[in-house]
Amino acid sequence: METYKLLDTLKQRVWSTNVSIASKEDVNRAVLLDSGNLVLTNGIEIKWQSFDYPTDTWLPGARIGFDKSKNTLQKLTSWRNMNDPATGKYSLQLDQNQNGELVLLDNRGENWRSGPWDEGGVASLAERKGVFNFSYDPTKDSKYITFNVFGESVGGQCLLWNGDLFDLKRILNNSSQVELNLKLFESSNKGKKKPLLVALAASITSAIFVCGTCCYFLWRRNLREKGILRKKKFREMLLSESATNLAKPEHSSNKGQEKKSDIELKFFELHDLKVATDNFSLDNKLGEGGFGAVFKGQLPDGQQIAVKRLSTQSRQGISEFKTEALLIAKLQHRNLVRFFGCCVEDEEKMLIYEYMPNKSLDYFIFDESRKSLLDWKKRHEIIIGIARGILYLHQDSRLKIIHRDLKPSNILLDEDMNPKISDFGTARIFSGNQNEAKTLRVVGTYAYMSPEYALAGLFSVKSDVFSFGVMVLEVISGKKNRISHDSDSPPNLIRQAWELWNDGMAFELIDPTIVDSCTNEEVLRCIQIGLLCLHIDAAHRPTMSSILFMLSNEATVPSPKQPLITLTSKLNTTETTSSSINEVTITAPDVR
């Protein structure tokens, strides 16, 4: 079986048939026929032809349909948008369950049907349009619709004809009139005028073709130069931003700024990422969030990658893109997702990370069919790994970083289920002597926000500690902390954990799937640490270094105090600031 490929001078794949073909003879030529059909042949027979794999254009002679015996499907697909020829959401294909009926589909379902062939569907539509001759070819295993044109050129109400005779009634309806213009030449002048007219027409056509070709290539070169310049400017803008400057929006100090040369940021080419992800095919799509879609890919050296592609409708803007690219480029820890680089080209903006085969923590702990795959030993290791990653951000890296959006969906798992913190788009950097900052733009996920951040926009390392405490309770219980202002709703996870702990029944909080694999002392110690992290006063929450010390059973764990059960009891506001990023829209009141 062979796959025919077109390679560049570096032996990189530029194009391929994307299908395997059984052949004992080499294909030695590619021919573009007058019909528009691109064929690959060995000089004797056609081995592959583009008419079998239509994209967005239906040419005369090409077919739309299917063959069940060969497991083939010919359909038309739309562009993603006017400027992006990647596969869009619309497709036109032949319904396998109907008799010659075309159906227009999108991601949500059907948009239009032509009606069955034998009930006046495509056939009658084509007859009203006039110049197209459609045909339907059904067999036991296959069905196809194709078409050709009656004349060679049609424009408006004018038909240029020089082929076989046909009935004008198939072109014109009863209300139309037809006017025939005939050009007659005397037989004595025919031999002299015809060569002259042919030569004149050929000269004019050649001149128009040459001028048009030159204009086209000049236009393409101009577009390419503008794209290169725009890409260069954006890259220079990224490199000119010291990561420490990212603290400026939160009124942080500028001390300790690092030099431009300290930023090691690798840029990928868009073409290489298209090859790596098979042109961002749906088969390689891993998921979608506030940033945009994430695609799996593979580099030429075999390295698997995850490509975060910023959507044009993304709630995460250029500022968050720059923050994540510049920040994560400076960080390296076994419990942080590994960053390879970014791509800024045309209208595309992408971040490239290592591929995490086991998705995220929430994929397991909140799913009834998968939570049993994580026993207590593995969950305890995940809790410690997350704590080590946060400690690195707060204390051990060359920057002091507040993540601001820690939650299970941002904890990725590698092939050994080791946790990796990800998504640094909302992170902020503190200088060495800075402990707290305030913002009017509260971002993150409400269920994991500390009270001082959700209510007053104040954040610090203790804000991340609060988020960590919520995650610890979620990992132990297998339940999501849900925030509701409805008094009839069940208590949230924080309230449930505190009441069980206060009543001496904390063991009832544990996920039933890990009861047999856990030790009472160890899991109750983790619940106690989680509640300590939820103290209403940020100053009384432990640091991440203290938390790791307590998790290792090397320190006495203090008794927790009652956390803030609901934020509504503390509200006294006259002004709000809204932000919409990541999972929810947050209204953050300014407290007086």
Residues with active-site annotation: 405
Q: Which 3-state string (H, E, C) describes 151-190?
A: CCEEECCEEECCCCCCCHHHCCCCCCCCCCCCCCCCHHHH
> Residue 585: how many CA atoms within 13 Å on its side-chain side?
3
* Residue 126 identity (one-letter amino acid): A
Query: Which two three-digit tokens encode residue 565?
Result: 């059960």
With CA atoms as reference, report the closest residue to 587 among 16, 82, 575.
575
- As a whole number of angstroms, the distance between CA 151 and CA 148 comes to 9
DSSP letter at 396 equals: I
Q: Please give the Cα distance from 374 to 363 (Å, whole number).
A: 11
| CB-neighbour burial class of residue 424 (10 A; exposed 0-12, middle 13-18, buried 19+) | buried
Q: Is 248 annotated as a binding residue?
A: no
* Residue with the two structure tokens 């960080």: 331
Q: Which 3 state secondary structure label does DSSP give 281?
A: coil
- Check if the beta carbon of residue 53 is closer than 8 Å to that of residue 59: no
Q: Are strands 304-310 and 292-298 parallel, antiparallel or unpaired?
A: antiparallel
Q: Which amino acid is at 296?
A: K
Give all strands (DSSP E) within 29-108, no chain letters: 29-32, 38-41, 46-49, 63-67, 72-74, 76-81, 84-94, 102-106
CA-wise closest residue to 550 among 576, 528, 568: 528
Judge whether 404 and 458 are in contact, CB under 8 Å. Answer: no
Residue pair 303/313 in contact by the 8 Å Cβ criterion: no
Q: How far apart are CA 312 and CA 292, in angstroms?
A: 8
Backbone dihedral angles phi then psi of residue 534, each to the nearest 5 degrees: -100, 15
Tokens 């297998």 sit at which residue? 478
**C-alpha to C-alpha distances, 321 to 116, 238, 269, 341, 583, nearest whole angstrom:** 50, 10, 17, 12, 17
Burial class (CB in 10 A: 0-12, 13-18, 19+), 419: buried
Q: Which of 378, 393, 388, 403 is nearest to 475 (CA)?
A: 378
Three-class secondary structure of residue 298 per DSSP? strand
In this structure, what token pair is assigned to residue 51? 């008419």
DSSP 141: S
Residue stretches of the annotated binding site:
308
Residue stretches of the annotated binding site for ATP:
308
